[in-house]
Amino acid sequence: MKIDRIDVIRVLNPFRHPFETSFTRFVNRDALLIKIYSEGLAGWGECKSFYGPFYNPEDNGTVLHVLKDHIVPRILHTDVESPESFMQSVQMIRGNRLAKAAVENALWDLMVQRTGHSLKTLLGGTQNEIKVGVSLGMEGDINELLQEIDHYLSLGYHRTKLKIKPGADLSVLRAVRKEFPDITLTVDANSAYTLKDIDLFRAMDEFRLQYIEQPLGEEDIVDHAVLQKEIQTPVCLDESIVSYEAAEAAIRLGSCRVINIKSSRCGGLWEGRRIHDLCLKKGIPVWCGGMTELGIGRAQNISFASLPGFSGLAHDIAAADRYFERDITDPMVQITPRCTVEVPDDTGNIVYHADEKAIDSMAAGHWIWR
């Protein structure tokens, strides 16, 4: 694929409900989109970084720098054979995987257009639809939380995930399990605990959770191995899985029994698929998490989650209108009445096109290299 021109477009898409985290308040999804022009076609990628380095070490500022000063000069006006060869050509750039993934994702989109095959086919996906779970914060009153869980269960969501933090964990779980003894329930600690809390996690075994997601720090792969040996509930690693090597180390050490693959954090779909293949071989169930992406990233997550290893567990891939009034694809990603998302395939029944009018209306910056 001869690379004729590369555009980066910054968009600001307001969240329907701005949300607070411990470090900031998110009002807009502030995202960088990559458009790569090649031989009359244009492929789109979405960078998953945020406006500041809060969830990932990279942010939109560092991504723009790495693209402009290091990636674009290496590939503009060259012939890139495949996403894999692109990844090899940027190997000397350490880390910066979100930046690499954005370009890599646009190359996959170009391959889809060149070959006429869906991303599912190109990746080797096997599923026609994938199961969707819901993820809920634990900020409010316990009765409100119980009502919220009831609401999503009535809609048919396949798994309920609760965000926990010190001070809002066991007591809430006890109340939820009392009301809903048999639902598929998980918790996500987003690294809020340390090994000193091991008794708390031992106590969670009685709640029969499907898994406990990222209880300890991102770099605590060894501590997670200690924890996993002490508890019956499977540990699921999310933040710790930043590369194939990290996944391999975690599996070898016994640090987890489930993995949440966010392919962009690992450098893109090609790298994500390698982790998927490793997990499939080692018998580790995987699922696909989200980073409040816009439609281009969301649609690629759906195709990625159609790989065979993703068939068991529910994914954090919501309908786009749960987060946004308007999105950047036409159509917007929707969920079925079965609480699944249908995977675009070669029949062309569903094709998510970049909605350039929507993108223009949200644009807050545009860089062009040709």
Contact positions vs Mg ion (CB under 5 A): 188, 213, 238
Supply the minimum distance, in Å, between the C-beta of residue 290 and Mg ion.
9
Supply the minimum distance, in Å, between the C-beta of residue 291 and Mg ion.
10
**For Mg ion, which is the closer residue by CB, 30 or 238?**
238
Choose, from 35, 120, 161, 262, the residue flagged as catalytic: 262
Q: What whole-number distance in Å separates Cα of residue 77 and Cα of residue 80? A: 9
User: What is the enclosing helix (H) or strand (E) of 117?
Assistant: none
Q: What whole-number distance in Å separates Cα of residue 102 and Cα of residue 269? A: 10
Alpha helices in the chain (DSSP H): 60-66, 72-75, 83-89, 97-115, 119-123, 142-155, 170-179, 198-204, 221-230, 244-253, 269-282, 295-304, 356-362
Sequence letter at residue 324: F
- Is the Cβ–Cβ distance between 286 and 259 less than 8 Å? yes
Supply the minimum distance, in Å, between the C-beta of residue 10 and Mg ion.
26
Sign of CA dihedral 267, 26, 33, 316: positive
> By three-state DSSP, how is residue 260 classified?
strand
Identify the residue whose tokens are 């019956």.
232
Residue 307: C-alpha distances to residues 112, 122, 123, 319 (Å): 17, 11, 8, 20
Supply the minimum distance, in Å, between the C-beta of residue 186 and Mg ion.
10
**For Mg ion, which is the closer residue by CB, 120 or 265?**
265
**For Mg ion, which is the closer residue by CB, 288 or 339?**
288
Centroid of chain to Cα 266: 10
**For Mg ion, which is the closer residue by CB, 38 or 240?**
240
Supply the minimum distance, in Å, between the C-beta of residue 8 and Mg ion.
27
Which tokens go with 77?
């006006």
Q: What whole-number distance in Å separates Cα of residue 215 and Cα of residue 133? A: 19
Supply the minimum distance, in Å, between the C-beta of residue 320 and Mg ion.
20
Question: Closest residue (Cβ) to Mg ion?
Answer: 238
User: Cis peptide before 57, with omega less than 30 degrees from 0?
Assistant: no
Supply the minimum distance, in Å, between the C-beta of residue 166 and Mg ion.
17
**For Mg ion, which is the closer residue by CB, 213 or 342?**
213
**For Mg ion, which is the closer residue by CB, 213 or 271?**
213
Choose, from 131, 163, 196, 281, the residue flagged as catalytic: 163
Q: What whole-number distance in Å separates Cα of residue 118 and Cα of residue 132? A: 21
Q: Which one-letter DSSP state was computed for residue 69? A: I
- Is the Cβ–Cβ distance between 129 and 336 less than 8 Å? yes
**246: phi then psi, degrees, rounded to nearest 5:** -65, -40
**For Mg ion, which is the closer residue by CB, 109 or 188?**
188
163: annotated active-site residue: yes
Catalytic residues: 163, 262
